[in-house]
Amino acid sequence: MIAYVRDVWLGFLSILVSMGVTLRHLFTPAVTVQYPKGRRGVGVGSLNRHVLTVDLASGKLKCTACDACAKICPTRCITLVGAGKGKERHPIEFVIDHNLCMYCNLCVEVCPFDAITMWTGNFEIGAFHRTGLLFDQSALHAERFYPSPTTPAEVPAEAEAPART
């Protein structure tokens, strides 16, 4: 009989403790973000969609079609065809298949010219068909400067050089 009363009392206490937890969370503010209207910030080290960076002075792609990114990719999702010799070498065809990409960041790390980046902040990659996740050179072309953890943010020209007196 004593064991029965003890089990009932312990069950009642566990219900009180769980109701306390429920009431504590009932009066805390919600952390839900209403997605289309509001968006959560993306961390600095988050890997997003690939972008081929451009030289800000000339407006040309930094990529020299050295094929280092395609060679190191473990899933072989990068297809690269280059043309030209020496400093005039440039990619004719550059395709990344995001169906295969595992976002390992090896292509970004191996690039000697800092020509490809994944720190775009564009994490909304979706398509209704698999062909929608194939990004060619025109879709990968950067329209602005994308800073990365290794490259600083764009600095205005006035702030670059200190004024001389």
Which helix (H) or strand (E) segment holds residue 3: the answer is helix 2-26
pTM reported for the whole predicted model: 0.67
* Structure confidence by residue, pLDDT tens digits, 107-143: 999 999 889 988 777 778 889 999 999 999 999 888 7
Residue 44 confidence (pLDDT): 66
Determine the Cα–Cα distance for residues 52 and 43; give it in Å rounded to an integer.
21
Residue 155 confidence (pLDDT): 46
Which helix (H) or strand (E) segment holds residue 52: the answer is strand 51-52
Residue 49 confidence (pLDDT): 86
pLDDT band for position 19 (cuts 50, 70, 90) = very high
Backbone torsions φ then ψ of 32, nearest 5 degrees: -70, 135
Residue 31 confidence (pLDDT): 82
Determine the Cα–Cα distance for residues 107 and 47; give it in Å rounded to an integer.
12
Under 8 Å between Cβ of 63 and 140: no
Distances in Å between the Cα of 136 and the Cα atoms of 18, 147, 159 are: 54, 22, 36
pLDDT band for position 58 (cuts 50, 70, 90) = confident
More confident residue, 57 or 52: 52
